[in-house]
Structure 1
């Protein structure tokens, strides 16, 4: 039997995909983090560029919403500072010799925000609901190997798997697999979140701020902050001014140029991200169902030029998989560099010698490089006879269109994961719950993903996901562009925050303001 036990709570992994800031109730003039007297806990102000679009964890896709929800809800398994799966609401687990049975031992004394006790029935009900198609949970595919789940007793949950699943524990870490009360009214969560997280919702003013209060009954210990508020400041330059004025104590930028203007006593930390910038292609729409059209697009784009133009070179050109142990080699693609002759060949093979017109959606306001990426791609495609019409959309509308697969092309920033199955299993398998977003699947990919989950040998798994990466590139399922950096700005006196590359903000529970 393999047993994994953690003696104490570890820090949750954290990181940002867009600029952010927390503002709090009860601040001194200017809204900065202050205390009520010597030795009193202080509040923290962190800025975000857009408001959250949902407070329901199972359906969250927006980075900003996920960042808030990570502080309100808990998952059975968490990621530590090394992006390894460690205990969360489950304090330990055991895996049978054949890998098909996993027994989770839950923490005792954990309560939800409404004061009700957390137990095994909540886990069973939550995972059952996530697997239910009617829930439309974005991480349903993360539980695809779970055949049955039962509460052995109040503090024990037993999963029976259809096959060994090497990605299972990583798949249980996203906030979209959060545990909710067994009798939860999901619609009520939009106004009254009910989780086991380190903070409680205190107040929300749409498009302005969300204020959180520390949870005195949090299983990991009550946070040191007196209050935590996510304040919406749409313009990153305005966030810089707020940092300089002291009315904001933390922000995370994705724009290197903006972050370089902060100065003063503010510390800026550069962190590579697992999230990746990509041009998504919906191959279920004509003429993109023709692989030659997709390859023409892929061979037309100079990824380094997109990176240099949109992000001032702040990142690295990437292939499909950014998971550190499985990272794709961007040179292993049909056109490692832009190749006009190859474009001409593929367009001719598809019957578009005279070019064609395509349409792409792009998000405005969600992250700083989106429109610049779209415009550079548009210019590059124009040079080879492909006209790209760009449709800018505000964040909420973009997410709705994206989730519905209502696009030909989409300029996107997607979150990466430490395990490639957690990263892509829900996208590129035929039964994946986000396959309509991916726009591509195949029998061979289904088989490869099944093999990758069942394989326990690390080197053998690397070979399998190298084959996954090869098919995604050879078929030009999408055009992977680059990974970027985040720039975490913290004011003097803010400690306990360690930016990590996976996009989680759960570690705000460990922040102290002095």
Structure 2
């Protein structure tokens, strides 16, 4: 499979054709997710859209579905698609095309790792624009559960027989023009977009994996903005604030950072050891000193933006044990995350705190492939990881980390946990769900299969070439609204 679409090569801003109409954004990772992914490109590229999105309070809001209703005790959900939506090849969006796209996601754990569609009985269309989900069990939060990455709508012509993607033909305001793995994504405006006309006709995402390189590219105006979760490190904030012509802003995103325990082997197989470690880790110091304004201490398993599901059970008052374990432990770090968050500093701080108790910790930084291989094989004691509450409701988190069949469940599952997860998933009303998740929150605080450290506050920056640039709670840059300064000036003069 070849991912390269040929265009003239350019490496710096000055060599970009039609520079006035081009927005260049520096990010710390590759937004080309590839053929074996759910969406081919990251959602921040605005190339594809889903049935629903989450508002700033992480409640479901309309996207490709303009409205919806439920029946049969929240077992049947009808989504009404927007009229006059077209794919990038100008094919009209229909309920049948959306159905084929959703069934691709639902058919494989690869594309549905959190089991969003595990209770889907069947999916039907009614007329040209109504999509009807029939569930085996009630789900009052279903519109949330299928938001964003859980229901991307892509044209089925791009699907291989095994579900892999040839490319991405979506309905978003931009379409894919060029993709160079590990280098850049080039997007062009889609003139048939249903939701408004962007000010920029071209957007380029440049992968700048090194944090210092991202900052230098911004200051040299090789990029117009640096914007993604973790794109600006805490220690860079003060420097960027003082650079003339740069605008620095921040937004609280739905991402939380965790210390994940390997509960399948000693020493963290023992719950008392996990609680002991939690009792000595000074999360306030981590946030105040190392994160330095880029986060707040986690008092819940996931983001407080999901306020209806947060109960404040992680207050840090765990009972210490009298004798900590003496066997050395490993702290595993993903090399890519070290350049996006102060994970190495945090790991060294934890290492230092453990050393005060005679507890030796060794830090290992691994490239992505080796990192995930070692995590899957259980060759770690602790690991630092981010996770974003993409659906805004607890099942996304608990089914992922705590369930027996969860993709990130590292020996922490139990019959009691599985029972509560199922109870929360299958509740008939929001009130019943809330009670189940309140119990799960308390169980989580007692068992501590992973320790939430802090909730992310992401900084982003842009040059005064732009009069407006924003980023939302899912760290998507607001590409349609991004405005060049010259456009704003002309509008102000009435030209």
Whether the TM-score (by the shorter chain) exceeds 0.5 is: yes
Which residue is equivalent to 1:16? Answer: none
Superposition deviation, residue 234 in structure 1: 2.8
Q: 1:395 to 1:381 in 2, by over 3 A?
A: same
Residue pair 2:123, 2:132 contacting (<8 A) in 1 also: yes
Name 1:9's counterpart in structure 2: none
Structure 1 residues 359 and 273, CA gap change in structure 2 (3 angstroms): same
Higher relative contact order (CA 8 A, sep 6+): 1
Cα 1:83–1:291, aligned 2, differ >3 Å: closer, same or farther? closer
Residues 1:440 and 2:390 are matched in the alignment:
no
Q: 1:224 to 1:405 in 2, by over 3 A?
A: farther
Match of 2:221 among 243, 246, 258: 246
CA contact (8 A) 1:59 1:137 kept: yes
In structure 1, what is the equivalent of residue 4 of structure 2?
Answer: none
Shift of the 476–215 alpha-carbon distance from structure 1 to 2, 3 Å rule, reads same
Higher mean C-alpha deviation, range 105-114 or range 453-462? 453-462
Closer, same or farther in 2 for the Cα pair 1:28/1:260, shift >3 Å?
A: same
- Taking a change above 3 Å as real, the CA distance of residues 379 and 245 of structure 1, as seen in their structure-2 partners, is same
**Aligned residue runs from structure 1 range 175-324, under 5 A:** 175-183=149-157, 184-185=159-160, 192-252=167-227, 253-262=231-240, 263-312=243-292, 314-318=294-298, 319-322=300-303, 323-324=306-307
Give the alignment partner of residue 80 of structure 2, picking from 101, 105, 125.
105
Taking the aligned partners of 1:481 and 1:316, their CA distance within structure 2 comes to 9
Give the number of aligned pairs. 467
What residue is the counterpart of 1:160 in the other structure? Answer: 134
Rounded to whole Å, the distance in 1 between the matches of 2:98 and 2:84 is: 15
Q: Counterpart of 2:442?
A: 470
Distance 1:419 1:314 in 2: 23
After superposition, the Cα gap between the structure-2 partners of 1:491 and 1:83, relative to the gap in structure 1 and judged at 3 Å, is farther
Does the 8 Å CA contact 2:32/2:179 hold for their aligned counterparts? no
Deviation for aligned residue 1:44: 0.7
Question: Paired residue for 2:328?
Answer: 357
Distance 1:386 1:270, change over 3 A: same
2:42 pairs, out of 66, 75, 91, with 66
Residue pair 2:302, 2:452 contacting (<8 A) in 1 also: no
Aligned equivalents of 1:117, 1:51: Cα separation in 2: 30
RMSD: 3.2
Query: Aligned equivalents of 1:197 and 1:144: distance in 2?
Result: 28
* Per-residue CA distance 1:42-84 (angstroms, 9 max, x = gap): 21111012324623585579xxx6344x522111112234433
Determine if contact 1:320/1:328 at 8 Å carries over to the other structure: no
Look up the match of 1:6: none
8 Å contact from structure 1 (residues 58, 176) kept in 2: no
**Structure 2 CA distance for partners of 1:216 and 1:269, relative to 1, 3 Å:** same
**CA offset digits 1:23-57 (Å, max 9, x no partner):** x9899974499957xxxx72111101232462358
Alpha-carbon distance, 1:392 to partner:
0.2
1:472 and 1:157, CA in 2 relative to 1: closer, same or farther beyond 3 A?
same
Query: How far is the alpha carbon of 1:153 from its aligned partner?
Result: 3.2
1:511 aligns with 2:492: no
Could you say what secondary structure the match of 1:356 adopts? coil
Inter-CA distance 174–460: structure 2 relative to 1 (3 Å threshold): same
CA distance in 2, matches of 1:217, 1:185: 26
Alignment of 1:382-421 (within 5 A): 382-399=355-372, 401-402=374-375, 407-417=380-390, 418-421=392-395
Q: Deviations over 1:196-235 (max 9, x none)?
A: 2221111122222111111222232343311111112233
The whole-number CA distance in structure 2 between the counterparts of 1:403 and 1:123 is 33
| TM-score normalised by the chain length of structure 2 | 0.83
TM-score of the superposed pair, with normalisation by structure 1: 0.80
Q: Residues 435 and 131 of structure 1: is their aligned pair in 2 closer, same or farther, counting only changes over 3 Å?
A: farther
SS in 1 for 2:480: helix
